[in-house]
Amino acid sequence: MTPEFVRIASVIEPSESQRALASDLARLCDGRASAGSQDRIAYARDLWPKATYWAGLGKVPRPPDAICWPRDEKQLANVVAFARARKIPLIPFGAGSGVCGGAIALTGGITVDLKRMDRLRSVDHASRLFTAQGGIIGENLERELAAHGLSLGHFPSSIYCSTLGGWLAARSAGQLSTKYGKIEDMCQSLTAVLGTGELVKVRARPSNGPDFTQLLIGSEGTLGFITEATMFAVPQPATRAYRAVRFRTLEAGAEAIRRILRDGLRPAVVRLYDPFDTVIAGKGKTKFAATDEHHRDGIQVIQERAPLAAKLAVRAALGKPAALNRLADLLRECLLILVFEGDADLCSAEDEQALILCRELGGVDLGAAPARHWMEQRYAVSYKQSKMFAAGAFADTMEVCATWDKVLPVYRAVRQAVSPLGFIMAHLSHAYVEGCSLYFTFSATAPSPEEVVERYDAVWREALGAAMAAGATVSHHHGVGFSKAGRLHEELGSPGVNLLRALKRTCDPDGILNPGKLGLGGEA
Ligand SMILES: Cc1cc2nc3c(=O)[nH]c(=O)nc-3n(C[C@H](O)[C@H](O)[C@H](O)COP(=O)(O)OP(=O)(O)OC[C@H]3O[C@@H](n4cnc5c(N)ncnc54)[C@H](O)[C@@H]3O)c2cc1C
């Protein structure tokens, strides 16, 4: 599916049919619907960097014809029935923080924003479970849980601007996932309104039969709306232990993580920065600042943190990425951040044991300060990517996952593939006994806006192609959305795609839910 584009300046007054649509939806959602031009422009994109770049050029994929904000499942089911009868596309919308174009309308339709369904409904202390509505923003959820002495243990960098339903829909991972798991590991049951309009409640880990929660988790709005979920809670941590270790090579640091996990230690945070990322981070001294998910705007943050690296990166962005990447190959220090949390005795025992393992591999203890600083800065997320785009460059991130035998081959393959095209660096995080996630950041530029878009596409094509050829998954936690839809089909293969399509036909027989996403109803 190819998006239709409109000039932002041309989205002025709603048409008659858009006005009529909004007034029908307003009747279904106690007045909360709009076809206003500002709303349609605002909901025309999510935080997919390419869409931000398009916006800078004055265009957006065709905006939704109307937006509505149902209050509850009954209103939502009525909206679905209304759209089904008229074959109008419905686009589920959490907070629009997705970075793969998953919440973009592409060809118009109705964007259904679930943020009015934002309540923490109940807390079951005995079972340590809570039930919350899908539209609740992460930060609000954590604040409410903290009042009960609990936490979900899920802290994505986007916690201020993403929802529980969006996390479940896109298989999100938080910064503490090595201890608490990804969002799909935290769900006990969920409620959804399917594309048929039916309300279903499905339970994880049933005593028998398939686990239907796992069919809906990761479905990115193509099968149904996740309206409510019962989640496993964890206690607020009693204490934390912080540790930073320097390694001579990425190989040694990766091996340390593998052994830490294999030996049963469970740090909440594990982050190993490659040599260039470590330089930008300030060599692990206390001035180290998080170069976390989107914590940087590529060159902009480089400029703030490391003047020399900044000059080099700017030069790279101006067209000499291969030289900078070759220089990075000469660097020889990798920073590992570990944070343990929970019971004080356990934390200090785990910290001590992890340090022993790191030292066996040549790791040098840098103390607690760099890790503590990372923790303090972990939400210092900057959303100023558009400034970089306005300057004629782009930055984006790619997160994939691989088993330990393939982690370093994937790292090398992606660096090699991207090096001629853009500046690239990476860190390893979200560790498991069997492998970990690799998080790449790249930036580049080209002489004209059209060539920037071409370069952006080329970097992604080369990076994801190399990663998958070396054995990585299509994504680890950002989801697939529109931008990686075709690649998902490569990963699933024909039988997997057939199953996915069969599921789609059952849950959404009219194909109205989020067309074009996950490669259902069109491919990127
Ligand atoms: C600065 C920044 C930092 C980020 N950091 C992280 C991170 O640390 N970890 C991480 O995992 N991700 C991260 N992301 C990506 C993003 O926050 C996640 O993908 C998140 O899960 C999206 O949630 P959302 O509520 O904003 O969903 P949206 O962006 O609104 O939607 C995402 C997809 O899910 C669908 N959807 C949304 N809500 C529902 C629902 N209730 N039912 C069914 N389908 C639905 C949409 O149609 C769309 O396909 C980051 C993004 C940014 C911009």
Q: Whose CA is nearest to atom 50 of ligand 1?
A: 158
Question: Whole-model pTM?
Answer: 0.93
- Cα 218 to averaged position of ligand 1 atoms, centre (Å): 11
- Beta sheet of 110-113, edge-to-edge order: 33-34, 66-68, 110-113, 90-93
| 231 CB-near residues (< 8 Å, 6+ apart) | 129, 130, 131, 132, 152, 164, 186, 187, 188
Q: Is the minimum distance from the CB of 158 to ligand 1 under 6 angstroms? A: yes
- Identify the pLDDT of residue 261: 98
Q: What is the mean pLDDT of each run of 10 residues along the chain (524 residues)?
A: 86 92 98 97 94 89 96 98 98 97 95 98 98 98 98 97 98 98 97 98 86 96 98 97 96 98 98 88 44 40 49 57 77 92 96 98 96 89 66 89 98 96 94 98 88 94 98 97 92 95 97 95 51
Residue 117 tokens, joined:
């369904």
Q: Whose CA is nearest to atom 46 of ligand 1?
A: 103
The pairing of strands 66-68 and 110-113 is parallel
Q: Is the minimum distance from the CB of 517 to ligand 1 under 6 angstroms? A: yes
- CA 423 vs CA 23, 50, 239, 279: distances in Å: 49, 17, 39, 14
Mutate to test the pocket of ligand 1, among 47, 90, 93 (most ligand atoms within 8 A of CB): 93
Q: Whose CA is nearest to atom 53 of ligand 1?
A: 97
Q: Is the minimum distance from the CB of 218 to ligand 1 under 6 angstroms? A: no
Cβ atoms of 366 and 244 within 8 Å: the answer is yes
Q: Is the minimum distance from the CB of 475 to ligand 1 under 6 angstroms? A: no
| Distance, CA of 472 to CA of 407 (rounded, Å) | 8
87 exposed, middle or buried (CB, 10 Å; 0-12, 13-18, 19+)? exposed
What is the distance of C-alpha 65 from the center of its chain? 27
- Identify the pLDDT of residue 318: 52
Sort residue 198 into left (φ over 0), alpha (ψ -120 to 50) or beta.
beta
Cβ atoms of 262 and 208 within 8 Å: the answer is no
- Cα 464 to averaged position of ligand 1 atoms, centre (Å): 20
Q: Is the minimum distance from the CB of 237 to ligand 1 under 6 angstroms? A: no
DSSP state string for 357-415: HHHHTT-EEEESHHHHHHHHHTT-----HHHHHHTTEEEEEEEEEEEHHHHHHHHHHHH
- Cα 408 to averaged position of ligand 1 atoms, centre (Å): 28
- Cα 314 to averaged position of ligand 1 atoms, centre (Å): 30
Mutate to test the pocket of ligand 1, among 76, 113, 162, 164 (most ligand atoms within 8 A of CB): 162
- Ligand 1 atom with the smallest distance to the CA of 163 is 25
- Identify the pLDDT of residue 212: 93
- Cα 426 to averaged position of ligand 1 atoms, centre (Å): 21
Cβ atoms of 274 and 325 within 8 Å: the answer is no
Alpha carbon distance, N-terminus to C-terminus of the chain: 6
- Identify the pLDDT of residue 175: 97
Three-class SS state of 200? strand
Length of the chain: 524
- CA 123 vs CA 115, 136, 145, 167: distances in Å: 20, 15, 8, 20
Cβ atoms of 458 and 420 within 8 Å: the answer is no
Q: Is the minimum distance from the CB of 166 to ligand 1 under 6 angstroms? A: yes
Give which of 233, 198, 474, 251 is closest to 361, Cα–Cα: 251
Q: Whose CA is nearest to atom 2 of ligand 1?
A: 158
